[in-house]
């Protein structure tokens, strides 16, 4: 602890305490001891308070960054100083060498004090509860691949699931794969002890010299000479210690400089982001009696029981057979394998996606039959439902409370694959059957947070235009996903008319679910909740949420200014009245509907976290309505944060910009610790951080809040300037325009305008003028993502061909773009290379070469009979890969696939361009001739990208 006068100079000699170490005094900055510094620093910064930074604050931030300190203060806290002259946030808690959970529950107490300074409370955590064992993670990089494939082939050859029970065969295969991974694990080489990366030959010499002086001093018996040699040794030891610190500093700076050379952006990003490694370092949890857990197992068990109540007794399992269902095809299974991220965390078995995928692809037919058997019998195998739980802390919450953790359920990779197959089929039935309400914006393709916020904003604007007072009530659901009863989900799916085979397997998916934590010997069945972490869980929640929106449909028919929207479990109730006092009475019935829905499905609404906002038309609202949920008052606010955007009563977005500026300043302060004017990460690395993280952070919601006003543009450029200064590493006097040119970063106001106009054009049929031409959403390539069911995903394969085959009619296609004109060419040759027919079509100038190449293939199919055997040759691999892909993101590709479904005798070949292939050269000439036509003959949708 150190004390200095608040107005003293911010120099390290005034802020540097010492600790006793080894009989001497050592400066705290050179130690690895845990350090806390508390004091009145008389400095201002948005990092620790809602104020602008002053010179003293900048100086203090430099010292904090220089000595790797962490500011514990929350910039949204109460003021720490309240005196006759005003209030301020000048009392700080700085820490060093503390773990992420070492300091918690920090706050400024608002108790009445005799002092002008307020009490600062915080909890110094005891040592963390650590686990001692981790599950082995089996990935392809940890095994000998060739040995793995050999053992795998032998295992599958002798594996006969017919001789034993189906579920036993599933478990046998899963355990067999684990055993194969164990056998083929790469042998660890004898590790040679290496020196630290900062060690060098000069330090080695200096260490030898220091040791020699120590031995010489210790061997001396004459006291006068011993004292003299001790002083010499101490001086050399101090010099050696300083050299080590300097070597460490230089090594770290060189590491930061090398990041840009190896293009490891992730390395730098991991240094500045907040990491939570809860499974290795879990906070002590407060129990009901006020005591705290003392072991990792006790902490884990307390949190798990809170989120997943144990099942009292196991219900009997009913298996329902289904004969009539669309079978899983090998292509569908391969599509699912491709969709699942290779970085997905494995389940309790430790088998990663790469290992399981290799096994499935080794014998695709066998495993396709296994998945079909699951659907036929309505079985989700028990060993695939065993859940490993990972806990994610909720930002800004008290981590000693079990409710402050979000549990993520990790299924075995086998279960993830079947889970994904079920999800795709369920989503297809819900979307194509229009079972989901249009006001549900979460967990749905084609929906987004931007659309949900736009609904909110448009409602408010329309109400104001009609001279009505709009109100928005945001309702907070308590632990919604983990509170849903499984029987209610099945009832909703039956009510929606979902296919029986899907209901049967989902019913089994939700039964006999078990949580296992082998490291802590925790194992039990749980009774309710949607598994967070599975792809099926969010879709099942939509079935429950849709019941609320359906109930509001009838209310909305009576009152057009009463809307209810949802984004996942975020409920927003919108209403408008001629006067604000009317809300108290008129919203009683809608709120009762929400309460009844929650009660019917075993859910809970938290009134203390729910908020509402009233938007005045001109004057301030004088009568604040009283809204109650579960007989408790709901707080009225002037700023409502909805889906990450701050809506203020005047909709001027100033509060949102202030929030963004705080976040950017906080992130920049972290970057500043690792990138300085003369050392640290190079500008390209800092720029990449800006483009990938900061720019997206700032522009989030620009579709909604950007209004093109001078005030909005000025705020955006002020925020952008903070980041550009760190990229350019220039003086703060350099203008914003110069910084944009030096860094090569576009002005943020122009980017925001682009995002805003693009959203309006694609979602609100707004016309945008580019040059002398107007564009609307109808001019762009719009694809129905549910054009084909997931089980009907036939890929169309191709192969390379050097010399065209002579046994079929050969059609060569090509596309070209010359002088901003686009054309497609098709040439049909017989077996003797005689031209049977050819055609050239000019496309709209906005079309891409990809579209021209694809349209040429489309023309070739249109001009030939369905029963005709043809070979289509093209030099565009991108088009051929699009035809091979199970999914289609271009309308012309969808149209080609529709034609191919009726063609049995069409083969595709890729030929290398411009090597003299006769037919390919003719098609190239035809495509170029098409670009010279005066009239556009075919208009294709412009690619959105």
pLDDT digits (tens, 9 = 90+) for 23-50: 343 444 445 567 888 888 888 888 888 8
C-beta separation of 598 from 484 below 8 A: no
Where do we find the tokens 């995928």?
Answer: 357
Query: Is residue 627 over pLDDT 90?
Result: yes
Structure tokens at 12: 């390290």
Q: Exposed/middle/buried for 84, CB within 10 Å: 0-12, 13-18, 19+?
A: exposed
Task: Give the pLDDT of residue 318.
Answer: 63
Work out the average pLDDT over 152-168: 77
Taking alpha carbons only, the member of 858, 817, 813, 825 closest to residue 927 is 825
- Where are the domains positioned within the chain? 35-124, 141-184, 201-262, 297-437+477-538, 542-640, 654-779, 798-932
Query: Is residue 614 over pLDDT 50?
Result: yes
Cα-Cα-Cα-Cα torsion 916, 917, 921, 927, nearest 10 degrees, comes to -140
Task: Give the pLDDT of residue 20.
Answer: 41
Residue with the larger pLDDT of the pair 644 and 3? 644
Structure tokens at 631: 């007989």
Which percentage of the chain shows pLDDT scores above 90? Answer: 42
C-beta separation of 692 from 729 below 8 A: no
Rounded alpha-carbon distances, angstroms, from residue 722 to 413, 664, 871: 44, 8, 59
Where do we find the tokens 């009145």?
Answer: 40
Query: Is residue 288 over pLDDT 60?
Result: yes
**pLDDT tens digits for range 494-519:** 999 999 999 999 999 998 888 888 77
Work out the average pLDDT over 5-34: 53
Domain 35-124: what homologous superfamily?
Answer: Endonuclease/exonuclease/phosphatase (3.60.10.10)
Task: Give the pLDDT of residue 262.
Answer: 43
Residue with the larger pLDDT of the pair 615 and 779? 615
Query: Is residue 261 over pLDDT 60?
Result: no
The CA distance from 219 to 213, in Å, is 10
Report the helix count and the strand count for the chain, using DSSP H and E.
Answer: 29, 30
**pLDDT tens digits for range 915-938:** 888 999 999 999 999 999 999 999
- What is the chain's percent helix, strand, coil content, to nearest 5? 45, 20, 40
Q: Exposed/middle/buried for 930, CB within 10 Å: 0-12, 13-18, 19+?
A: buried
The CA distance from 770 to 708, in Å, is 17
Phi and psi dihedrals of 575, rounded to 5? -150, 160
Task: Give the pLDDT of residue 265.
Answer: 47
Phi and psi dihedrals of 7, rounded to 5? -95, 10
Taking alpha carbons only, the member of 419, 415, 351 closest to residue 381 is 415
Work out the average pLDDT over 456-465: 95
| Range from 317-326, 370-379, 741-750, 871-880 carrying the lowest mean pLDDT | 317-326
The CA distance from 295 to 925, in Å, is 76
Q: Is 798-932 the same fold as 35-124?
A: no
For all residues of the chain together, what is the average pLDDT? 85
C-beta separation of 44 from 51 below 8 A: yes
| List of long-range contacts for 65-71, beta carbons under 8 Å, 24+ apart | 65/669, 65/672, 65/673, 67/12, 67/29, 67/96, 68/96, 68/673, 69/37, 69/94, 69/95, 69/96, 70/94, 70/95, 70/96, 70/98, 71/47
Residue with the larger pLDDT of the pair 365 and 104? 365
pTM: 0.79
Q: Which strand (E) or helix (H) includes residue 194?
A: none
Rounded alpha-carbon distances, angstroms, from residue 790 to 144, 367, 376, 538, 868: 35, 18, 17, 19, 29
pLDDT band at 526; cut points 50, 70, 90: confident
Query: Is residue 252 over pLDDT 80?
Result: no
C-beta separation of 305 from 499 below 8 A: no
How far from each other are the two terminal CA atoms of the chain, in whole angstroms?
A: 58
Rounded to the nearest angstrom, the gap between the alpha carbon of residue 395 and the centroid of all alpha carbons in its chain is: 15
Q: Exposed/middle/buried for 678, CB within 10 Å: 0-12, 13-18, 19+?
A: exposed
Taking alpha carbons only, the member of 207, 206, 205, 213 closest to residue 234 is 213
Residue with the larger pLDDT of the pair 375 and 102? 375
Task: Give the pLDDT of residue 88.
Answer: 87
Taking alpha carbons only, the member of 350, 280, 291 closest to residue 136 is 350
pLDDT band at 652; cut points 50, 70, 90: very high
E-strand ranges in 720-820 read 768-770, 773-775, 798-800, 809-818
Taking alpha carbons only, the member of 351, 342, 629 closest to residue 475 is 629
Rounded to the nearest angstrom, the gap between the alpha carbon of residue 64 and the centroid of all alpha carbons in its chain is: 30
Task: Give the pLDDT of residue 908.
Answer: 94
Max CA-CA distance within the chain?
112
In a 13 Å sphere around the CA of 486, the CA atoms on its Cβ side amount to 19
| Range from 135-139, 335-339, 477-481 carrying the lowest mean pLDDT | 135-139
The CA distance from 666 to 664, in Å, is 5
C-beta separation of 804 from 810 below 8 A: yes
Query: Is residue 598 over pLDDT 50?
Result: yes
Rounded alpha-carbon distances, angstroms, from residue 584 to 581, 596, 629: 6, 19, 12
Taking alpha carbons only, the member of 664, 641, 653 closest to residue 449 is 641
Task: Give the pLDDT of residue 278.
Answer: 45
Sign of CA dihedral 726, 732, 735, 741: negative
Task: Give the pLDDT of residue 18.
Answer: 46
Per CATH, domain 798-932 is 3.40.50.720: no
Taking alpha carbons only, the member of 390, 359, 426 closest to residue 517 is 390
Work out the average pLDDT over 756-785: 85
C-beta separation of 509 from 422 below 8 A: yes
Taking alpha carbons only, the member of 604, 564, 901, 943 closest to residue 762 is 943
């Amino acid at each position: 602890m150190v004390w200095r006068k608040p107005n003293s100079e911010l120099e390290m000699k005034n802020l540097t305490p010492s600790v006793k170490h080894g009989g001497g005094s050592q400066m705290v900055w050179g130690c690895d001891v845990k350090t806390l510094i508390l004091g009145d620093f008389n400095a201002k910064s948005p990092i620790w308070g809602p104020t602008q930074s002053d010179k003293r604050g900048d100086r203090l931030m430099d010292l904090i960054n220089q000595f790797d300190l962490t500011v514990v203060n929350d910039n949204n806290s109460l003021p720490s100083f309240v005196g006759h002259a005003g209030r301020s946030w000048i009392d700080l808690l700085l820490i060093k060498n503390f773990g992420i959970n070492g300091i918690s529950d920090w706050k400024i107490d608002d108790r009445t004090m005799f002092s002008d300074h307020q009490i600062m409370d915080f909890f110094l955590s005891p040592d963390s509860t650590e686990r001692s064992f981790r599950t082995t993670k089996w990935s392809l990089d940890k095994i000998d691949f060739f040995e793995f494939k050999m053992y795998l082939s032998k295992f599958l050859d002798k594996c006969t699931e017919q001789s034993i029970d189906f579920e036993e065969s599933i478990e046998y295969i899963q355990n067999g794969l684990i055993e194969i991974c164990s056998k083929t694990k790469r042998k660890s080489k004898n590790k040679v002890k290496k020196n630290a990366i900062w060690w060098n030959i000069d330090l080695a010499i200096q260490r030898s010299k220091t040791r020699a002086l120590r031995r010489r001093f210790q061997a001396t018996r004459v006291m006068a000479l011993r004292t003299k040699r001790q002083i010499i040794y101490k001086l050399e030891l101090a010099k050696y210690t300083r050299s080590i610190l300097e070597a460490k500093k230089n090594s770290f700076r060189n590491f930061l400089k090398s990041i840009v050379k190896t293009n490891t952006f992730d390395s730098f990003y991991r240094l500045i982001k907040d990491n939570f490694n809860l499974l290795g370092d879990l906070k002590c949890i407060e129990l009901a009696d006020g005591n705290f857990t003392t072991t990792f197992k006790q902490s884990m068990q307390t949190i798990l029981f809170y989120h997943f109540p144990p099942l009292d007794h196991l219900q009997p399992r009913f298996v329902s057979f289904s004969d009539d269902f669309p079978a899983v095809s090998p292509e569908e299974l391969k599509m699912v394998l491709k969709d699942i991220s290779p970085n997905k965390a494995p389940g309790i078995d430790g088998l990663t996606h790469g290992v399981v995928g290799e096994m499935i692809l080794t014998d695709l037919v066998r495993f396709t039959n296994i998945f079909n058997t699951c659907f036929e019998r309505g079985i989700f195998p028990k060993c695939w439902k065993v859940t490993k739980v990972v806990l994610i802390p909720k930002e800004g919450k008290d981590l000693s409370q079990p409710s402050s953790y979000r549990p993520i359920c990790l299924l075995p990779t086998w279960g993830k694959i079947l889970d994904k197959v079920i999800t795709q089929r369920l989503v297809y039935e819900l979307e194509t059957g229009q079972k989901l309400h249009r006001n549900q914006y979460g967990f749905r393709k084609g929906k987004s947070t931007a659309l949900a916020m736009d609904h909110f904003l448009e409602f408010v604007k329309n109400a104001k235009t009609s001279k009505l007072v709009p109100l928005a009530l945001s309702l907070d659901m308590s632990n919604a996903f983990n509170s849903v009863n499984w029987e209610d989900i099945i009832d909703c799916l039956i009510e929606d008319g979902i296919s029986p085979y899907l209901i049967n397997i989902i019913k089994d998916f939700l039964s006999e679910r078990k949580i296992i934590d082998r490291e802590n010997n925790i194992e039990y069945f749980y009774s309710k909740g949607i598994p967070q972490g599975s792809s099926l869980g969010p879709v099942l929640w939509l079935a429950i949420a849709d019941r609320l929106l359906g109930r509001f449909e009838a209310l909305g028919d009576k009152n057009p200014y009463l809307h209810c929207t949802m984004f996942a479990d975020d409920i927003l109730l919108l209403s408008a009245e001629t006067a604000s006092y009317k809300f108290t009475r008129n919203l009683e019935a809608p709120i009762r509907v929400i309460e009844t829905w929650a009660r019917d499905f075993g859910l809970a609404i938290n009134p203390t976290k729910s908020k509402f906002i009233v938007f005045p038309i001109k004057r301030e609202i004088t009568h604040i309505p009283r809204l109650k949920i579960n007989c408790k008052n709901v707080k009225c606010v002037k700023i409502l944060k909805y889906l990450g955007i701050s809506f203020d009563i005047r909709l001027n977005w100033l509060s949102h910009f202030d929030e963004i500026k705080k976040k950017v300043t906080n992130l920049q302060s972290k970057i500043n610790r690792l990138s300085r004017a003369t050392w640290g990460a190079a500008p390209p690395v800092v720029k990449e951080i800006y483009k990938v993280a900061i720019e997206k952070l700032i522009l989030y919601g620009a579709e909604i809040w950007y209004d093109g006003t001078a005030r909005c543009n000025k705020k955006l450029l002020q925020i952008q300037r903070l980041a550009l200064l760190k990229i350019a590493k220039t003086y703060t006097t350099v203008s914003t325009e110069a910084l944009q040119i030096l860094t090569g970063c576009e002005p943020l106001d122009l980017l925001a305008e682009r995002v805003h106009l693009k959203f309006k054009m694609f979602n609100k049929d707004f016309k945008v003028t580019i040059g002398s031409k107007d564009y609307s959403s109808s001019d762009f390539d719009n694809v129905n993502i549910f054009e084909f069911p997931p089980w009907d995903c036939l890929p169309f394969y191709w192969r390379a061909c050097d010399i065209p085959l002579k046994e079929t009619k050969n059609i060569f296609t090509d596309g070209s773009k010359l002088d901003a004109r686009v054309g497609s060419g098709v040439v049909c040759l017989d077996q003797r290379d005689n031209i049977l027919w050819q055609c050239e079509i000019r496309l709209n100038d906005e079309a891409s070469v990809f579209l021209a190449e694809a349209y040429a293939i489309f023309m070739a199919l249109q001009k030939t009979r369905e029963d005709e055997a043809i070979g289509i040759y093209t030099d565009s691999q991108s088009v051929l890969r699009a035809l091979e892909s199970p999914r289609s993101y271009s309308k012309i590709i969808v149209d080609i696939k529709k034609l191919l479904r009726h063609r049995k005798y069409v083969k595709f070949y890729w030929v290398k361009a411009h090597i003299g292939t006769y037919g390919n050269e003719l098609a190239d000439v035809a495509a170029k001739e098409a670009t010279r036509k005066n009239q556009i003959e075919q208009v294709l949708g412009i690619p959105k990208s």
